[in-house]
Amino acid sequence: MLQANYSGCGYTLIADKQGVNLCTRLDEQVVKTDGVMVKEFKLIRPAAECDVIINLAKFKTHVMTGMSGAVKNLFGTVPGLKKAEFHMRFPEKERFSNMIVDLCETVKPTFNIVDAVVGMEGDGPGSGTPRKLGFLLAGADPYYTDLAISHMMGFEPANLPIMKAAIDRGLVPRQLPADCVCGDTAMFGRIENWAMPKSYKVDFSDRVPRPIRWATPTVEKMLAPRPKIKKSACIGCGKCRDICPQQVITIKERKASINMKNCIRCFCCHEMCPVKAIDVKRSIFFNI
Ligand code: SF4
Ligand code: SF4
């Protein structure tokens, strides 16, 4: 059974041709769980009730979590605007990522396929650059599947908050064991010139002199990337304002502006903007 909530994407046509019944019951169902951050999720009904879940993700970067693979894709099982509630409950990316791992442990996808026929690099998932790659990745374990993605994109897994949460829980090793990879292994290498999101940082705490290491979280917060509206490109559609969990975006004279004081840097606005009018700005002080 397929879940259909994208009427314009061609699923309906394909399902008709193949004689597959599409599930249109997208009401919520409460699922109890034994998570570290969350004890109960409200998920779309198919995610709660289906015996087999095939998790179909895209191979792409993500300005908040570095990359969006099999594990992050499961956030799609949380219905529409409920996603914003989770951003409000878990504004720091470390806690948010731990919640995503709770969700993955709850949904437990049976099989994970990652579409890298055309991937996305740069400031994904909303404003990145599509890149033809021409392959599919697949794995029974969503964490190991994501380790493979991070290897190919060139990320250090422990620097990705979702991977770090999974590593800390002992769900996955720090690097993908070589004997886990099969198929066309010649393709399994770091992709040349892969563009990371501007927000991606390398952990520099070990490079800070020991006496001032206590200040590292504060410094990191000051240097954290932030969304910035490109006024000339903004068409005033209000989609960023509607999705913002902190309600810090206002539209005046058909131009959006952000009150950064209460912005939690979830980048939902960046993801939603239909005309790429929201940029990711890194601090001018650091370039690591
Ligand atoms: S302004 Fe953008 S990044 Fe900041 S809280 Fe709102 S949606 Fe998140
Ligand atoms: S979503 Fe983009 S175009 Fe629409 S109001 Fe926000 S910044 Fe402007």
Calculate mean pLDDT across residues 105-124.
97
* 162 neighbors 27 (Cβ within 8 angstroms): no
Domain with CATH 3.30.70.20 in the chain: 212-281
Calculate mean pLDDT across residues 137-154.
97
Ligand 2 atom nearest 249 alpha carbon? 6
CATH of 212-281, one of 3.30.70.20, 3.40.50.1700, 3.40.50.1820, 3.40.50.300: 3.30.70.20
- What percentage of the chain has pLDDT greater than the value 70? 86
* 5 neighbors 77 (Cβ within 8 angstroms): no
User: pTM above 0.95?
Assistant: no
Q: Report residue 204's pLDDT band, with 50, 70 and 90 as the boundaries.
A: very low
CB atoms within 10 A of CB 130: 12
Looking at per-residue pLDDT, the higher value among 72 and 222 belongs to 72
| Beta carbon of 163 within 6 Å of any ligand 2 atom | no
DSSP H helices in 161-215: 161-168
Q: Which of 153-167, 181-195, 217-231 has the lowest mean pLDDT?
A: 217-231
Q: Report residue 16's pLDDT band, with 50, 70 and 90 as the boundaries.
A: confident
pLDDT attached to residue 214: 59
CA angle 133, 163, 205 (to 5 degrees): 110
Ligand 1 atom nearest 278 alpha carbon? 2
Ligand 2 atom nearest 254 alpha carbon? 5
| Beta carbon of 280 within 6 Å of any ligand 1 atom | no
Looking at per-residue pLDDT, the higher value among 222 and 102 belongs to 102
